[in-house]
A and B are shown apart, each in its own frame.
Chain A
Amino acid sequence: MAADHGDSEGQPGKTGGQSARDNGLENRLRQLDEKLASRRTAEQEKEAAWARNNKSGWANAVRLSSEFVAAVIVGVAIGWVLDKWAGTSPWGLIVFLLLGFAAGVVNVMRATGQMAEFGQQGGGTGDREK
Protein backbone atom coordinates (compact mmCIF):
# COMPACT_ATOMS: atom_id res chain seq x y z
CA MET A 1 0.00 0.00 0.00
CA ALA A 2 2.86 2.32 0.79
CA ALA A 3 4.37 1.64 -2.67
CA ASP A 4 1.11 2.54 -4.46
CA HIS A 5 0.96 5.75 -2.61
CA GLY A 6 4.50 6.64 -3.67
CA ASP A 7 3.75 6.00 -7.37
CA SER A 8 0.60 8.04 -7.44
CA GLU A 9 2.40 11.12 -6.19
CA GLY A 10 3.55 11.89 -9.75
CA GLN A 11 6.57 14.02 -8.82
CA PRO A 12 9.68 12.43 -10.37
CA GLY A 13 12.29 13.92 -8.06
CA LYS A 14 10.39 13.18 -4.96
CA THR A 15 9.17 9.68 -5.96
CA GLY A 16 12.71 8.41 -6.43
CA GLY A 17 13.67 9.19 -2.87
CA GLN A 18 10.34 8.13 -1.51
CA SER A 19 10.27 4.76 -3.29
CA ALA A 20 13.76 4.03 -2.06
CA ARG A 21 12.60 4.79 1.42
CA ASP A 22 9.45 2.74 0.83
CA ASN A 23 11.58 -0.16 -0.34
CA GLY A 24 13.60 0.04 2.81
CA LEU A 25 10.44 0.19 4.88
CA GLU A 26 8.91 -2.69 2.97
CA ASN A 27 11.98 -4.79 3.48
CA ARG A 28 11.89 -4.13 7.13
CA LEU A 29 8.17 -4.89 7.28
CA ARG A 30 8.74 -8.15 5.47
CA GLN A 31 11.51 -9.10 7.84
CA LEU A 32 9.28 -8.27 10.77
CA ASP A 33 6.50 -10.38 9.30
CA GLU A 34 8.84 -13.32 8.87
CA LYS A 35 10.12 -12.96 12.37
CA LEU A 36 6.58 -12.78 13.74
CA ALA A 37 5.49 -15.79 11.71
CA SER A 38 8.38 -17.94 12.91
CA ARG A 39 7.77 -16.84 16.45
CA ARG A 40 4.09 -17.67 16.20
CA THR A 41 4.72 -21.25 15.05
CA ALA A 42 7.37 -21.65 17.72
CA GLU A 43 4.87 -20.52 20.32
CA GLN A 44 2.28 -22.93 19.04
CA GLU A 45 4.73 -25.81 19.19
CA LYS A 46 5.66 -24.85 22.71
CA GLU A 47 2.00 -24.73 23.67
CA ALA A 48 1.31 -28.13 22.14
CA ALA A 49 4.29 -29.61 23.95
CA TRP A 50 3.08 -28.07 27.18
CA ALA A 51 -0.37 -29.56 26.68
CA ARG A 52 1.13 -32.98 25.97
CA ASN A 53 3.49 -33.05 28.93
CA ASN A 54 1.10 -31.49 31.38
CA LYS A 55 -1.70 -33.90 30.79
CA SER A 56 -1.59 -35.61 34.14
CA GLY A 57 -2.83 -39.15 34.58
CA TRP A 58 -5.86 -37.83 36.42
CA ALA A 59 -6.91 -35.58 33.56
CA ASN A 60 -6.46 -38.42 31.10
CA ALA A 61 -8.46 -40.81 33.25
CA VAL A 62 -11.38 -38.41 33.56
CA ARG A 63 -11.26 -37.66 29.85
CA LEU A 64 -11.33 -41.29 28.72
CA SER A 65 -13.81 -42.52 31.30
CA SER A 66 -16.22 -39.68 30.58
CA GLU A 67 -16.02 -40.49 26.87
CA PHE A 68 -16.87 -44.12 27.52
CA VAL A 69 -19.55 -43.58 30.15
CA ALA A 70 -21.27 -40.86 28.13
CA ALA A 71 -21.79 -43.18 25.16
CA VAL A 72 -23.25 -45.93 27.36
CA ILE A 73 -25.60 -43.42 29.04
CA VAL A 74 -26.76 -42.08 25.68
CA GLY A 75 -27.28 -45.63 24.38
CA VAL A 76 -29.41 -46.55 27.39
CA ALA A 77 -31.39 -43.31 27.11
CA ILE A 78 -32.16 -43.85 23.43
CA GLY A 79 -33.15 -47.48 24.02
CA TRP A 80 -35.37 -46.62 26.96
CA VAL A 81 -37.18 -43.81 25.15
CA LEU A 82 -37.60 -46.01 22.07
CA ASP A 83 -39.10 -48.76 24.21
CA LYS A 84 -41.52 -46.30 25.79
CA TRP A 85 -42.68 -44.98 22.45
CA ALA A 86 -42.78 -48.17 20.43
CA GLY A 87 -43.57 -50.57 23.26
CA THR A 88 -40.78 -52.92 22.22
CA SER A 89 -39.48 -53.44 25.74
CA PRO A 90 -36.89 -54.77 26.42
CA TRP A 91 -35.38 -55.08 22.92
CA GLY A 92 -34.65 -51.39 22.34
CA LEU A 93 -32.79 -51.17 25.64
CA ILE A 94 -30.75 -54.30 24.93
CA VAL A 95 -29.80 -53.30 21.39
CA PHE A 96 -28.96 -49.69 22.20
CA LEU A 97 -27.05 -50.60 25.35
CA LEU A 98 -24.80 -52.77 23.20
CA LEU A 99 -24.54 -50.01 20.60
CA GLY A 100 -23.69 -47.62 23.42
CA PHE A 101 -20.84 -49.87 24.56
CA ALA A 102 -19.53 -50.04 21.01
CA ALA A 103 -19.80 -46.28 20.62
CA GLY A 104 -18.00 -45.86 23.95
CA VAL A 105 -15.08 -47.93 22.68
CA VAL A 106 -15.11 -45.88 19.47
CA ASN A 107 -15.05 -42.67 21.53
CA VAL A 108 -12.11 -43.86 23.62
CA MET A 109 -10.18 -44.98 20.55
CA ARG A 110 -10.83 -41.59 18.95
CA ALA A 111 -9.73 -39.77 22.09
CA THR A 112 -6.45 -41.68 22.15
CA GLY A 113 -5.94 -41.06 18.43
CA GLN A 114 -6.06 -44.72 17.41
CA MET A 115 -9.01 -44.22 15.11
CA ALA A 116 -9.92 -41.67 12.45
CA GLU A 117 -12.09 -38.73 13.42
CA PHE A 118 -15.65 -38.32 12.19
CA GLY A 119 -15.97 -38.34 8.41
CA GLN A 120 -12.26 -38.97 7.84
CA GLN A 121 -10.94 -42.06 6.17
CA GLY A 122 -8.26 -44.54 7.08
CA GLY A 123 -6.00 -43.61 9.96
CA GLY A 124 -6.67 -46.56 12.20
CA THR A 125 -5.46 -49.35 9.95
CA GLY A 126 -1.76 -48.68 10.44
CA ASP A 127 -1.98 -48.83 14.19
CA ARG A 128 -4.06 -51.95 14.20
CA GLU A 129 -1.40 -53.97 12.43
CA LYS A 130 1.28 -53.12 14.94
Chain B
Amino acid sequence: MRDAAPAITGLRDVADPNKVDPIHQFHINKLIDLQIGGLDFSFTNSALFMVIVVVLTGAFLVLTTSSRGLVPSRMQSVSEMAYEFVANMLRDAAGTHGMKFFPLVFSIFMFVLVANLIGLFPYFFTVTSHIIVTFALAMLVILTVVIYGFMKHGLKFLKLFVPSGVPGLLMPLVVAIEIVSFLSRPVSLSVRLFANMLAGHITLKVFAGFVVSLGAMGGIGFAGAILPLFMAVALTGLELLVAFLQAYVFAVLTCMYLNDALHPSH
Protein backbone atom coordinates (compact mmCIF):
# COMPACT_ATOMS: atom_id res chain seq x y z
CA MET B 1 0.00 0.00 0.00
CA ARG B 2 2.77 2.41 0.97
CA ASP B 3 4.79 1.35 -2.06
CA ALA B 4 1.82 1.66 -4.33
CA ALA B 5 1.00 5.19 -3.21
CA PRO B 6 3.46 7.16 -5.39
CA ALA B 7 2.62 5.18 -8.50
CA ILE B 8 -1.09 5.77 -7.96
CA THR B 9 -0.78 9.46 -7.16
CA GLY B 10 0.93 9.74 -10.54
CA LEU B 11 -2.33 8.62 -12.08
CA ARG B 12 -4.34 11.25 -10.31
CA ASP B 13 -4.25 13.80 -13.13
CA VAL B 14 -5.51 11.11 -15.50
CA ALA B 15 -8.33 10.17 -13.18
CA ASP B 16 -10.77 12.98 -12.65
CA PRO B 17 -13.57 12.40 -10.14
CA ASN B 18 -15.98 14.39 -12.31
CA LYS B 19 -15.56 12.03 -15.20
CA VAL B 20 -16.85 8.48 -14.97
CA ASP B 21 -13.72 6.68 -13.94
CA PRO B 22 -13.90 3.16 -12.55
CA ILE B 23 -10.34 3.29 -11.15
CA HIS B 24 -10.84 6.43 -9.11
CA GLN B 25 -12.23 4.50 -6.14
CA PHE B 26 -8.87 2.80 -5.55
CA HIS B 27 -6.88 6.00 -5.06
CA ILE B 28 -4.90 6.33 -1.90
CA ASN B 29 -4.99 9.78 -0.40
CA LYS B 30 -2.90 10.95 2.50
CA LEU B 31 -5.08 12.20 5.31
CA ILE B 32 -2.29 12.99 7.76
CA ASP B 33 1.19 13.45 6.32
CA LEU B 34 3.76 11.69 8.45
CA GLN B 35 7.45 11.14 7.62
CA ILE B 36 9.60 9.19 10.04
CA GLY B 37 13.27 8.72 9.18
CA GLY B 38 12.71 9.30 5.48
CA LEU B 39 9.98 6.68 5.35
CA ASP B 40 6.41 7.48 4.49
CA PHE B 41 4.18 6.64 7.46
CA SER B 42 1.28 8.83 6.36
CA PHE B 43 -2.16 8.00 7.63
CA THR B 44 -4.06 7.32 4.41
CA ASN B 45 -7.67 6.61 3.57
CA SER B 46 -6.70 2.95 3.35
CA ALA B 47 -5.30 3.04 6.88
CA LEU B 48 -8.41 4.87 8.05
CA PHE B 49 -10.65 2.13 6.69
CA MET B 50 -8.47 -0.58 8.23
CA VAL B 51 -8.91 1.15 11.58
CA ILE B 52 -12.66 1.41 10.95
CA VAL B 53 -12.84 -2.29 10.12
CA VAL B 54 -10.94 -3.30 13.25
CA VAL B 55 -12.87 -0.95 15.55
CA LEU B 56 -16.22 -1.99 14.05
CA THR B 57 -15.46 -5.71 14.33
CA GLY B 58 -14.07 -5.40 17.84
CA ALA B 59 -16.91 -3.22 19.06
CA PHE B 60 -19.52 -5.52 17.51
CA LEU B 61 -18.07 -8.64 19.09
CA VAL B 62 -17.51 -7.04 22.50
CA LEU B 63 -20.92 -5.38 22.68
CA THR B 64 -22.91 -8.35 21.45
CA THR B 65 -21.22 -10.82 23.79
CA SER B 66 -21.02 -8.59 26.86
CA SER B 67 -24.43 -9.61 28.22
CA ARG B 68 -23.68 -13.30 27.58
CA GLY B 69 -27.25 -14.53 27.88
CA LEU B 70 -27.77 -18.28 27.98
CA VAL B 71 -30.51 -17.69 25.47
CA PRO B 72 -28.69 -15.46 23.02
CA SER B 73 -30.18 -12.26 21.73
CA ARG B 74 -30.31 -11.76 17.99
CA MET B 75 -27.00 -9.94 17.77
CA GLN B 76 -25.31 -12.28 20.22
CA SER B 77 -26.26 -15.24 18.09
CA VAL B 78 -24.67 -13.55 15.07
CA SER B 79 -21.38 -13.42 16.98
CA GLU B 80 -21.81 -16.99 18.13
CA MET B 81 -22.53 -18.12 14.58
CA ALA B 82 -19.35 -16.43 13.37
CA TYR B 83 -17.41 -18.15 16.14
CA GLU B 84 -18.87 -21.59 15.43
CA PHE B 85 -18.48 -21.18 11.69
CA VAL B 86 -14.75 -20.51 11.98
CA ALA B 87 -14.26 -23.07 14.77
CA ASN B 88 -15.89 -25.83 12.71
CA MET B 89 -13.92 -24.85 9.64
CA LEU B 90 -10.64 -24.98 11.54
CA ARG B 91 -11.52 -28.25 13.31
CA ASP B 92 -12.44 -29.92 10.02
CA ALA B 93 -9.27 -28.83 8.24
CA ALA B 94 -6.63 -29.06 10.96
CA GLY B 95 -8.16 -31.20 13.71
CA THR B 96 -8.50 -30.23 17.37
CA HIS B 97 -4.78 -29.42 17.54
CA GLY B 98 -5.46 -26.64 15.11
CA MET B 99 -7.64 -24.83 17.62
CA LYS B 100 -4.57 -23.10 19.04
CA PHE B 101 -4.58 -21.07 15.85
CA PHE B 102 -8.20 -20.09 16.28
CA PRO B 103 -7.47 -16.46 17.26
CA LEU B 104 -5.39 -15.98 14.11
CA VAL B 105 -7.91 -17.57 11.75
CA PHE B 106 -10.88 -15.82 13.34
CA SER B 107 -9.15 -12.42 13.18
CA ILE B 108 -8.22 -12.91 9.54
CA PHE B 109 -11.69 -14.12 8.61
CA MET B 110 -13.46 -11.25 10.36
CA PHE B 111 -11.03 -8.65 9.01
CA VAL B 112 -11.39 -9.80 5.42
CA LEU B 113 -15.15 -10.26 5.68
CA VAL B 114 -15.82 -6.87 7.26
CA ALA B 115 -13.38 -5.12 4.93
CA ASN B 116 -15.10 -6.70 1.91
CA LEU B 117 -18.57 -5.82 3.17
CA ILE B 118 -17.69 -2.24 4.11
CA GLY B 119 -16.19 -1.74 0.68
CA LEU B 120 -19.63 -2.32 -0.84
CA PHE B 121 -20.96 0.96 0.54
CA PRO B 122 -20.80 3.81 -1.96
CA TYR B 123 -17.87 6.20 -1.39
CA PHE B 124 -16.20 3.72 0.96
CA PHE B 125 -12.71 2.45 0.34
CA THR B 126 -12.15 -1.27 -0.14
CA VAL B 127 -9.03 -2.21 1.79
CA THR B 128 -8.83 -5.70 0.28
CA SER B 129 -8.73 -4.37 -3.28
CA HIS B 130 -5.06 -3.47 -2.82
CA ILE B 131 -2.69 -6.36 -3.34
CA ILE B 132 -0.20 -5.18 -0.76
CA VAL B 133 -2.85 -5.54 1.96
CA THR B 134 -3.89 -9.04 0.91
CA PHE B 135 -0.26 -9.99 0.39
CA ALA B 136 0.60 -8.86 3.91
CA LEU B 137 -2.23 -11.04 5.25
CA ALA B 138 -1.05 -14.01 3.16
CA MET B 139 2.55 -13.55 4.31
CA LEU B 140 1.33 -13.47 7.90
CA VAL B 141 -0.31 -16.86 7.33
CA ILE B 142 2.63 -18.43 5.50
CA LEU B 143 5.23 -17.16 7.96
CA THR B 144 3.15 -18.57 10.80
CA VAL B 145 3.06 -21.91 9.00
CA VAL B 146 6.81 -21.94 8.29
CA ILE B 147 7.95 -20.70 11.71
CA TYR B 148 5.56 -22.94 13.65
CA GLY B 149 6.39 -25.91 11.40
CA PHE B 150 10.12 -25.58 12.04
CA MET B 151 9.57 -24.96 15.76
CA LYS B 152 7.36 -28.00 16.18
CA HIS B 153 8.98 -30.50 13.83
CA GLY B 154 12.46 -29.11 13.28
CA LEU B 155 13.99 -30.33 10.05
CA LYS B 156 11.27 -32.95 9.67
CA PHE B 157 9.10 -30.08 8.41
CA LEU B 158 11.11 -30.26 5.18
CA LYS B 159 9.51 -33.67 4.52
CA LEU B 160 6.64 -31.58 3.23
CA PHE B 161 8.64 -31.11 0.04
CA VAL B 162 9.60 -34.75 -0.40
CA PRO B 163 6.72 -36.87 -1.73
CA SER B 164 7.14 -40.54 -1.03
CA GLY B 165 7.53 -43.11 -3.79
CA VAL B 166 9.48 -40.91 -6.21
CA PRO B 167 12.51 -42.46 -7.99
CA GLY B 168 15.84 -41.08 -6.75
CA LEU B 169 16.82 -39.62 -10.10
CA LEU B 170 13.71 -37.47 -10.31
CA MET B 171 13.89 -36.36 -6.68
CA PRO B 172 15.78 -33.05 -7.12
CA LEU B 173 13.38 -31.97 -9.85
CA VAL B 174 10.29 -32.91 -7.87
CA VAL B 175 11.56 -31.21 -4.73
CA ALA B 176 12.33 -28.03 -6.69
CA ILE B 177 8.81 -28.05 -8.15
CA GLU B 178 7.30 -28.66 -4.72
CA ILE B 179 9.25 -25.75 -3.25
CA VAL B 180 8.15 -23.38 -6.02
CA SER B 181 4.60 -24.65 -5.54
CA PHE B 182 4.80 -23.97 -1.80
CA LEU B 183 6.23 -20.47 -2.33
CA SER B 184 3.45 -19.70 -4.78
CA ARG B 185 0.84 -20.18 -2.07
CA PRO B 186 1.00 -16.70 -0.51
CA VAL B 187 0.97 -15.20 -4.01
CA SER B 188 -2.10 -17.13 -5.15
CA LEU B 189 -3.83 -16.54 -1.82
CA SER B 190 -3.37 -12.78 -2.05
CA VAL B 191 -3.94 -12.49 -5.80
CA ARG B 192 -7.25 -14.35 -5.57
CA LEU B 193 -8.75 -12.06 -2.95
CA PHE B 194 -7.35 -8.91 -4.52
CA ALA B 195 -8.40 -9.83 -8.06
CA ASN B 196 -11.93 -10.70 -6.99
CA MET B 197 -12.45 -7.46 -5.12
CA LEU B 198 -10.78 -5.30 -7.78
CA ALA B 199 -12.62 -6.89 -10.71
CA GLY B 200 -15.96 -6.83 -8.91
CA HIS B 201 -15.72 -3.17 -7.96
CA ILE B 202 -14.55 -2.10 -11.41
CA THR B 203 -17.40 -4.00 -13.09
CA LEU B 204 -19.87 -2.42 -10.73
CA LYS B 205 -18.51 1.05 -11.45
CA VAL B 206 -18.49 0.49 -15.21
CA PHE B 207 -22.16 -0.52 -15.26
CA ALA B 208 -23.10 2.32 -12.93
CA GLY B 209 -21.15 4.61 -15.27
CA PHE B 210 -23.28 3.40 -18.21
CA VAL B 211 -26.37 4.45 -16.30
CA VAL B 212 -24.99 7.95 -15.78
CA SER B 213 -23.75 8.51 -19.33
CA LEU B 214 -26.84 7.01 -20.98
CA GLY B 215 -29.12 8.94 -18.64
CA ALA B 216 -27.36 12.17 -19.55
CA MET B 217 -28.31 11.66 -23.20
CA GLY B 218 -32.00 11.92 -22.35
CA GLY B 219 -34.88 10.39 -24.34
CA ILE B 220 -33.86 6.99 -25.75
CA GLY B 221 -30.73 6.96 -23.63
CA PHE B 222 -32.87 7.30 -20.55
CA ALA B 223 -34.83 4.18 -21.52
CA GLY B 224 -31.62 2.37 -22.39
CA ALA B 225 -30.16 3.18 -18.98
CA ILE B 226 -32.62 0.83 -17.33
CA LEU B 227 -30.74 -2.27 -18.51
CA PRO B 228 -27.37 -1.38 -16.96
CA LEU B 229 -29.24 -0.22 -13.87
CA PHE B 230 -30.67 -3.71 -13.42
CA MET B 231 -27.21 -5.09 -14.09
CA ALA B 232 -25.72 -2.87 -11.37
CA VAL B 233 -28.34 -4.03 -8.89
CA ALA B 234 -27.72 -7.68 -9.75
CA LEU B 235 -23.96 -7.17 -9.53
CA THR B 236 -24.32 -5.63 -6.09
CA GLY B 237 -26.00 -8.83 -4.96
CA LEU B 238 -23.26 -10.89 -6.58
CA GLU B 239 -20.61 -8.76 -4.93
CA LEU B 240 -22.21 -9.45 -1.56
CA LEU B 241 -21.87 -13.16 -2.27
CA VAL B 242 -18.29 -12.72 -3.46
CA ALA B 243 -17.43 -10.76 -0.30
CA PHE B 244 -18.58 -13.68 1.85
CA LEU B 245 -17.16 -16.34 -0.43
CA GLN B 246 -13.70 -14.80 -0.65
CA ALA B 247 -13.45 -14.31 3.11
CA TYR B 248 -14.51 -17.95 3.48
CA VAL B 249 -12.00 -19.16 0.87
CA PHE B 250 -9.20 -17.16 2.46
CA ALA B 251 -9.98 -18.63 5.88
CA VAL B 252 -10.37 -22.19 4.56
CA LEU B 253 -7.03 -22.06 2.77
CA THR B 254 -5.44 -20.58 5.89
CA CYS B 255 -6.73 -23.60 7.83
CA MET B 256 -5.41 -25.98 5.18
CA TYR B 257 -1.96 -24.40 5.24
CA LEU B 258 -1.90 -24.46 9.04
CA ASN B 259 -2.71 -28.16 8.79
CA ASP B 260 0.54 -28.62 6.87
CA ALA B 261 2.44 -26.98 9.73
CA LEU B 262 0.76 -29.24 12.29
CA HIS B 263 1.06 -32.50 10.35
CA PRO B 264 3.77 -32.17 7.67
CA SER B 265 3.77 -35.91 6.85
CA HIS B 266 0.40 -37.57 7.24
Contacts and interface: CB of A to CB of B under 8 A. Distances in A.
Given A54-B245, A70-B188, A110-B181, 16 more contacts: A62-B195, A62-B199, A63-B249, A66-B192, A71-B187, A75-B184, A96-B180, A100-B180, A103-B177, A103-B180, A107-B188, A118-B182, A118-B260, A118-B264, A119-B265, A121-B165
Interface centre among A44, A63, A103, A104 (most CB of B within 10 A): A103
A102 interface: yes
Given A44-B92, A74-B187, A118-B260, A106 B177 contact: yes
Chain A, interface size: which category? 20 to 34
A66 B256 CA distance: 17
Given A59-B245, A62-B196, A103-B177, A119 B187 contact: no
Given A102-B177, A121-B163, A70 B245 contact: no
Interface string B166-203: 00000000001110111111011001100110010000
A78 B183 contact: yes
A66 B188 contact: yes
Nearest to B89: A47
Contact of A103 (B184, B248, B256): B184
Interface of A: 40, 44, 51, 54, 59, 62-63, 66-67, 69-71, 73-75, 78, 96, 99-100, 102-104, 106-107, 110, 116-122
B181 A66 contact: no
Contact of B184 (A62, A70, A118, A119): A70
B184 A74 contact: yes
B236 to A, nearest CB: 16
A49 to B, nearest CB: 14
A72 to B, nearest CB: 8
B180 A74 contact: yes
B196 A103 contact: no
B159 A119 contact: yes
Interface of B: 88, 92, 159-161, 163-165, 176-178, 180-185, 187-188, 191-192, 195-196, 199, 241-242, 245, 248-249, 256, 260, 263-266
Contacts of A103: 177-178, 180-181, 184
Contacts of A104: 184
A96 B190 CA distance: 21
A71 B195 contact: no
Given A66-B188, A119-B160, A121-B163, A71 B266 contact: no
B180 A63 contact: no
Nearest to A107: B181
24 contacts: A62-B195, A62-B196, A66-B191, A70-B187, A70-B191, A71-B188, A73-B187, A75-B180, A78-B180, A99-B176, A100-B180, A100-B184, A102-B180, A103-B177, A106-B177, A106-B178, A106-B181, A107-B181, A107-B188, A110-B181, A118-B161, A118-B260, A121-B163, A121-B165
Nearest to B252: A51
Contacts of B181: 71, 103, 106-107, 110
Contacts of B248: 51
Contacts of B160: 118-119
Contacts of A107: 181, 184, 188
A119 B259 CA distance: 11
B163 A71 contact: no
B192 A62 contact: yes
